[in-house]
Chain A
Amino acid sequence: MASYSLMIDGVKREVDADADMPLLYALRGDLAHKGPKFGCGLAQCGACTVILNGVATRSCVLPVSAVGDAKIRTLDGLGTAANPHPVQAAFIAEEAAQCGYCTNGWIMTTVAALEKTPHASDEQIRTLLSGLKCRCGTHMAIMRAVRRASDVMTRSTADNALFTDAMQEA
């Protein structure tokens, strides 16, 4: 057992764990997160996804000792009912969940991708999300939600760019 200091959703958290314990067990256990789920423990389904330094990462196979000072973002810290992340707002608007057990993976994978490149074609959305598992068959609503989030984030990025340009000109 060793003590690890993890930067999670902008807050430093201490965790005592074996070096080889996957990050998921720290999040689900002592830190009582409800977003990342145990689905397979094999990095095959995505239910455990977190964003590690901007990259969607399967926390069920990432040893806690390998996290270092990387910044971890989780669904728990992403947004609130009053102030949801645009991707969460889109999933709520499209009702893109059935049992909801896999929802964490779809949202966090989408967030990591769209924050880098908000615009995505339907084909790119399918490629981006390929490999994530949903047993209830929510895929159609998920694609509508990601389409909606992409459109909203593309627009707001364009607005920000215009604003920035205007500021620079002024």
Chain B
Amino acid sequence: MSHSPNFSAQSPGRRQFLKRSAALVIAIGNTGVVSLLTLDEAEAQSLAAAPRAIGPKSLDTWLAFDKAGNVTAFFGKMDMGQGVDTAIAMVVAEELDLSVARVSVVMGDTHRTPNQGGASGSSGCRLGAIALRNAAAEARRVLVARAGEKLGVAADQLQVTNGVVQLKSDKKRSVSYRDLINEGFATDLDWNSRYGNNLTVKGIANPKAPADYHVVGKPAARKDIPGKVLATTEYCHHVTLPGMLHGRIIRPPVANAVPVSVDESSIAAWPDAKVVRKGDFIAVVAASEWHAIKAARELKVTWSETTPPFPPMEKLFEYIRQTPAASNSAKGGFGGAAYDPEPALAAIRNAARQVEAEYEVPFQSHARMGPSVGLADVKNGEALIWSDTQKPHDQRDGLAKFLGLPPDKVRVIWKPGPGSYGRSDSDEAAFEAALLSKELGVPVRVQWMRNEGHGWDPKAPACVISCKAGLDENANINGWYFHAKGFSGWDVNFNAADPRDTLVGQLTGIAKGDAHNFGAPSESYVFPNAVKFWETVPTFLAKASPLRTSHMRAPQEPQVHFAHESFIDEVAHAAGSDPVALRLRHMKDPREIAVLEAVAKLSKWKPRTAKDPKQTGSILHGRGVSVCSTFGGYVATVAEVEVDRASGRIWPRRIFVAHDCGLIINPQALRTTIEGNVVQGLSRTLYEEVRFDERNVLSVDWLTYPILDIRDAPEKIEIVTINRPDQPAGGAGEPSHVTIPAAVANAVFAATGVRVRRLPLRLDKLA
């Protein structure tokens, strides 16, 4: 691999930093591998720390010790607020026999951390921890071997206690890690030659057996919390460069209108403000952020006359039903899977009874707390970018294509942002800032405004899902049909590795891609004569659409499982079966069965049948169940709701979750992660819907896109976790989120007898 670019000459701020930095940088041979041997944590995390080349084969790429014997782990994924960095520190501490406090984690810098695929698919621990675990195990082996040489004993006579290698038989004969690392590791790992989520490395040493763990599996305080609470955490939004300009983007009033003319005199009141136009992209930049905001607000643009591109919102589901499919699960997605609905439909037609239902889910917005932000300094054939993207390495590739630079001349530094939850707007501002900086020759910071964060972020795809089942004379299922039809989850790709997937790319003339995926349930249910498939419909607008669609937390699975897990309840009701019992009869995977049984026990589930008496009183009570297995996590949820008969208000009073994600690394962070999944899930279930008219998106702030308010949060979320140290760590960032819509819908049905088949769930007042 080639040498890293020298970013040190780009700004006085960075030069100063490098002068102050005590980092000792040693280039090793012609591999371009650089190790930072005296790494100060604060400086390592600081603005544009010195680049280090990153060959996954080198152990020095993954771990660097400082002179105090503390270690920095370089992690090619990032934490989005669930404590993944702490989990990585725990895994590294475990293998090195260090305390967690002595491990710091650097995340998501294309010139300091290897490309492990960024935040993606609940894979922080599931995939990302594997390389770090193996690297740390090998580091311990190397250090203990060196200690053995120094002490003149065989390595197997030694043990390690918090970074001190000592003779098992005589603890006074010891040597510290810090005295063993002067020359770095200079050790090669086996690398599977892959980048991204599937990158893995392995040394000679095997990691510890889970039975020997003393750090992993015990609660550890999250490292990110104090900085967030004490206002010391530097977010992407905080980063500034000397001489930078502030950019604001001008969006059209009608989604597909393009600028015809721009009256620059309309912003003459702000002498520091000017217009930058490139193709159909228009921005205002100014030295003062407030001037940029005001000038962007006042700029007079004449837009093209255009036919409004969208159907009326009330026709959304009709559009999905009636529009011929653009792709389907045999052609799209990850590889495709052939299907034939006819045998299932025939079995259902010929059954004694048929159960059918259709479910509708509108567009939803990632609606991050802070809209997109990016800072770019593009000059001298290099680009330095700060971003809160989920995938800095992919974004680096996209920016390189956009700017016409070689990828190794583009450095993306990830900084924490306002959550993410999938392919949100987080990638967009960095591309816009890069274009503006390239055009103007100075650093530019682009900050989206609130209306853009809701109105122009890629949306979770709307869909209509049809389910059918056949029941025989004995109420046994003899046919099963699941058909999801919606907008593509890949209309905007989940990686920003190509500028065609950004607004500014499309506005400056790069044709949008045309990739298709949706989804179908992945649980282990076995039904006779079953078919599950999906189709996608074309997006409304081929360029820069505010209703373009992308991955949003557990991509398409909340939609898919809202339908499928609701429908299983409907079938159970029709068959006169308890919904838990019916699920258990058809499940094959023992881990799914275990979580379902665990949640039934936790919630003291009472078997329910269609014969339950109708409730009286002003508040109606009901419970519903739902199951999901995805990303290596297995979850069963029971929702207990109260419905106010007079107002129709649905309050999810208590939520019970049984959760199995294999090996649990940090039980404390796992619990708060599950709670977040649940509450965000309740918000999507009960409140969230992107509103639009024929001209544009109308959900442009928190009033027009309500989310769950704390008054409507549950009284209690009860969680039982099943730890499986014999299983690999699975995902926890998404699976429990997926169970929420159907659990609540099923509970609403149990309370009221009303089956709501559209998200967000809404009830009129009940008679």
A residues touching B (Cβ–Cβ < 8 Å)? Answer: 17-18, 21-22, 25, 28-29, 32-35, 37-42, 44-45, 47, 74-76, 78-81, 84, 88, 91-92, 95-104, 107, 126-127, 129-143
* B709 pairs with A135, CB closer than 8 A: no
Q: Which residue of A lies closest to B83 (CB)?
A: A95
Q: A95-B222, A137-B676 are contacts. A84–B707 as well, Cβ < 8 Å?
A: no
B residues touching A (Cβ–Cβ < 8 Å)? Answer: 80-83, 221-222, 224-235, 237-238, 289-291, 293, 367-370, 416-421, 447, 449-450, 668-669, 672, 675-683, 701-703, 707-711, 713-714, 717
Determine the chain B residues whose CB is within 8 A of the CB of A100 once the complex forms: 81, 224-225, 227-229, 233, 416
Assembly CA distance A141 to B708 (angstroms): 15
Assembly CA distance A25 to B240 (angstroms): 13
17 CB contacts below 8 A, A to B, read A22-B290, A34-B234, A41-B293, A41-B450, A44-B701, A45-B369, A45-B702, A80-B230, A95-B672, A97-B224, A98-B672, A99-B81, A101-B235, A126-B713, A134-B710, A135-B369, A143-B710
* A131 pairs with B701, CB closer than 8 A: no
Residue of B232, B449, B709 touching A41 (CB-CB under 8 A): B449
Q: Which residue of B lies closest to A131 (CB)?
A: B709
Assembly CA distance A141 to B719 (angstroms): 14
Residue of B81, B235, B709, B714 touching A97 (CB-CB under 8 A): B81
Q: Which residue of A lies closest to B681 (CB)?
A: A137
* A136 pairs with B676, CB closer than 8 A: yes
Starting from the known contacts A37-B418, A99-B418, A101-B235, 7 additional A-B residue pairs (CB-CB under 8 Å) come to A34-B234, A38-B370, A95-B225, A101-B369, A103-B228, A126-B713, A139-B679
* B229 pairs with A126, CB closer than 8 A: no
* A37 pairs with B290, CB closer than 8 A: no
Determine the chain B residues whose CB is within 8 A of the CB of A25 once the complex forms: 289-290
* B709 pairs with A130, CB closer than 8 A: yes
Residue of A29, A92, A99, A143 touching B229 (CB-CB under 8 A): A92
Determine the chain A residues whose CB is within 8 A of the CB of B238 once the complex forms: 28, 32, 34
Assembly CA distance A68 to B83 (angstroms): 41
Residue of B419, B450, B682, B710 touching A101 (CB-CB under 8 A): B419
Determine the chain A residues whose CB is within 8 A of the CB of B676 once the complex forms: 98, 136-138
* A127 pairs with B711, CB closer than 8 A: yes
Determine the chain B residues whose CB is within 8 A of the CB of A88 once the complex forms: 229-230
* B711 pairs with A130, CB closer than 8 A: yes
Residue of A84, A99, A141 touching B416 (CB-CB under 8 A): A99
Determine the chain A residues whose CB is within 8 A of the CB of B449 once the complex forms: 41
* B702 pairs with A40, CB closer than 8 A: yes
* B710 pairs with A132, CB closer than 8 A: yes
* B710 pairs with A142, CB closer than 8 A: yes
Assembly CA distance A127 to B703 (angstroms): 18
Assembly CA distance A47 to B714 (angstroms): 23
Q: Which residue of B lies closest to A87 (CB)?
A: B229
Q: A98-B81, A101-B418, A138-B679 are contacts. A92–B225 as well, Cβ < 8 Å?
A: yes
Determine the chain B residues whose CB is within 8 A of the CB of A104 once the complex forms: 231
* A38 pairs with B226, CB closer than 8 A: no
Residue of B291, B450, B682 touching A39 (CB-CB under 8 A): B450
Determine the chain B residues whose CB is within 8 A of the CB of A135 once the complex forms: 367-369, 418-419, 421, 680, 707
Assembly CA distance A95 to B229 (angstroms): 9
Assembly CA distance A32 to B47 (angstroms): 15
Q: Which residue of B lies closest to A34 (CB)?
A: B231
Q: A137-B708, A140-B713 are contacts. A37–B237 as well, Cβ < 8 Å?
A: yes
Give the interface centre of A28, A37, A137 by most chain B CB atoms within 10 Å.
A137
Q: Nearest Cβ distance between residue B466 and chain A, in whole angstroms?
A: 30
* A33 pairs with B675, CB closer than 8 A: no
Q: Nearest Cβ distance between residue B77 and chain A, in whole angstroms?
A: 15
Q: Nearest Cβ distance between residue B433 and chain A, in whole angstroms?
A: 16
Q: Nearest Cβ distance between residue A112 and chain B, in whole angstroms?
A: 16
Residue of B418, B421, B702 touching A44 (CB-CB under 8 A): B702
Determine the chain B residues whose CB is within 8 A of the CB of A42 once the complex forms: 450, 701-702
Assembly CA distance A129 to B235 (angstroms): 24
* A103 pairs with B418, CB closer than 8 A: no
Assembly CA distance A38 to B450 (angstroms): 9
Q: Which residue of A lies closest to B222 (CB)?
A: A95
* A130 pairs with B677, CB closer than 8 A: no
Determine the chain A residues whose CB is within 8 A of the CB of B418 once the complex forms: 37, 39, 99, 101-102, 135
Determine the chain A residues whose CB is within 8 A of the CB of B82 once the complex forms: 98
Residue of B225, B233, B419 touching A34 (CB-CB under 8 A): B233
Q: Which residue of B lies closest to A40 (CB)?
A: B450
Q: Which residue of A lies closest to B684 (CB)?
A: A137
Assembly CA distance A138 to B222 (angstroms): 14
Assembly CA distance A133 to B711 (angstroms): 11
* A84 pairs with B229, CB closer than 8 A: yes
Q: Nearest Cβ distance between residue A110 and chain B, in whole angstroms?
A: 12
Q: Which residue of B lies closest to A105 (CB)?
A: B369
Q: A25-B289, A130-B711, A136-B419 are contacts. A47–B675 as well, Cβ < 8 Å?
A: no
* B237 pairs with A38, CB closer than 8 A: yes
Q: Nearest Cβ distance between residue B613 and chain A, in whole angstroms?
A: 31
* B230 pairs with A79, CB closer than 8 A: yes
Q: Nearest Cβ distance between residue B414 and chain A, in whole angstroms?
A: 13
Assembly CA distance A129 to B711 (angstroms): 8
Residue of B226, B231, B370, B417 touching A35 (CB-CB under 8 A): B231
Determine the chain A residues whose CB is within 8 A of the CB of B235 once the complex forms: 34, 37, 101
Residue of B81, B222, B710 touching A126 (CB-CB under 8 A): B710
Determine the chain B residues whose CB is within 8 A of the CB of A101 once the complex forms: 235, 368-370, 417-419
Q: Which residue of B lies closest to A1 (CB)?
A: B288
* B226 pairs with A81, CB closer than 8 A: yes
Q: Nearest Cβ distance between residue B144 and chain A, in whole angstroms?
A: 34
Q: Which residue of B lies closest to A142 (CB)?
A: B710
Q: Which residue of B lies closest to A132 (CB)?
A: B710
Q: Which residue of A lies closest to B224 (CB)?
A: A100
Determine the chain A residues whose CB is within 8 A of the CB of B291 once the complex forms: 18
Assembly CA distance A34 to B240 (angstroms): 12
Assembly CA distance A40 to B225 (angstroms): 23
Assembly CA distance A24 to B707 (angstroms): 24
Determine the chain B residues whose CB is within 8 A of the CB of A21 once the complex forms: 290
Assembly CA distance A40 to B703 (angstroms): 11
Q: Which residue of B lies closest to A107 (CB)?
A: B229
Determine the chain B residues whose CB is within 8 A of the CB of A44 once the complex forms: 450, 701-703
Q: A140-B717, A143-B710 are contacts. A97–B228 as well, Cβ < 8 Å?
A: yes
Q: Which residue of B lies closest to A26 (CB)?
A: B290
Q: Nearest Cβ distance between residue A98 and chain B, in whole angstroms?
A: 3
* A143 pairs with B369, CB closer than 8 A: no
Assembly CA distance A47 to B717 (angstroms): 25
Assembly CA distance A78 to B231 (angstroms): 9
Determine the chain B residues whose CB is within 8 A of the CB of A143 once the complex forms: 710, 713
* B707 pairs with A81, CB closer than 8 A: no
* B668 pairs with A95, CB closer than 8 A: yes
* A91 pairs with B229, CB closer than 8 A: yes
* B679 pairs with A137, CB closer than 8 A: yes
Q: Nearest Cβ distance between residue B295 and chain A, in whole angstroms?
A: 12
Determine the chain A residues whose CB is within 8 A of the CB of B227 once the complex forms: 100
Residue of A133, A136, A141 touching B702 (CB-CB under 8 A): A133
Q: Nearest Cβ distance between residue B558 and chain A, in whole angstroms?
A: 13
- Those 6 A-B pairs whose CB atoms lie nearest each other, nearest first: A137-B679, A100-B228, A98-B81, A99-B81, A101-B418, A35-B231
Q: A40-B702, A137-B680 are contacts. A99–B672 as well, Cβ < 8 Å?
A: no
* A37 pairs with B81, CB closer than 8 A: no
Determine the chain B residues whose CB is within 8 A of the CB of A32 once the complex forms: 238
* B710 pairs with A130, CB closer than 8 A: yes
Determine the chain A residues whose CB is within 8 A of the CB of B681 once the complex forms: 137
Q: Nearest Cβ distance between residue A152 and chain B, in whole angstroms?
A: 15
Determine the chain A residues whose CB is within 8 A of the CB of B680 once the complex forms: 135-137
Q: Nearest Cβ distance between residue B722 and chain A, in whole angstroms?
A: 21
